[in-house]
Amino acid sequence: MYRALTWKALRNKVNIKDKKGLGQLAKETKITLKSQSNLETKIYLDGKEVTSFIRSPLIDKNVSPISVVKGIREAMVAEQKRMGKNGGIVAEGRDIGTVVFPKAEVKIFLTTSFKERVKRRWKEETNKGLSSDRKRVAIDLLTRDSIDSQRKIAPLKKARGAVVIDNTCLNIPQTVDRILEVVKTKLTP
């Protein structure tokens, strides 16, 4: 959701330092998430599907500075809570277990070595045909982590009661299996 709003702000040439303008933009924006039959989630921004647009180096670079804006966080968290009010959802994000759903039945804190994160992001960008430089990817990840973990509102941190899964040496199916093991253990009486 933050990536979608970042894309809209950049596209509309809203100054990312204009906190009031960004907060207003968040209030006027409708972001919808729709699950597909192939388990992929599509992101819609004001009715337009933007999933492929929000995964780019430009969005990576600007999402953290935009996500620290109080008005944006308030609007996004309110919408996320509305989406999850009936339960039965799986959500991910840097403050999902600490702020948005602090009483979630299952919380997982997924971690990966920095070197592996750089490699994965670089590969993702390269596979999309984006010009990708590993050093730039590393700097962007370090910058985003620093901003997100040091922000005053809803900083990135492990939620109380979260199970830590290090997937540095796991592929996607292995990671999913490990998460499902945790879910089964937590939800079995």
List pLDDT tens digits, range 31-77: 998 887 767 889 999 999 999 899 888 898 899 888 889 999 999 99
Contact in structure between 131 and 124 (CB atoms under 8 Å): no
Report the 10 Å Cβ neighbour count for 60.
20
Distance CA 121, CA 126 (A): 8
| The pLDDT value given to residue 92 | 86
- Over range 100-110, report the average pLDDT: 93
CATH class of 2-187: alpha beta
Contacts of 31 (CB under 8 A, 6+ apart): 1, 4, 5, 43, 44, 45, 79
Give the whole-angstrom CA distance, residue 77 versus residue 74: 5
The domain limits of the chain are 2-187
pLDDT of residue 10: 95
Tokens encoding 144? 């985003």
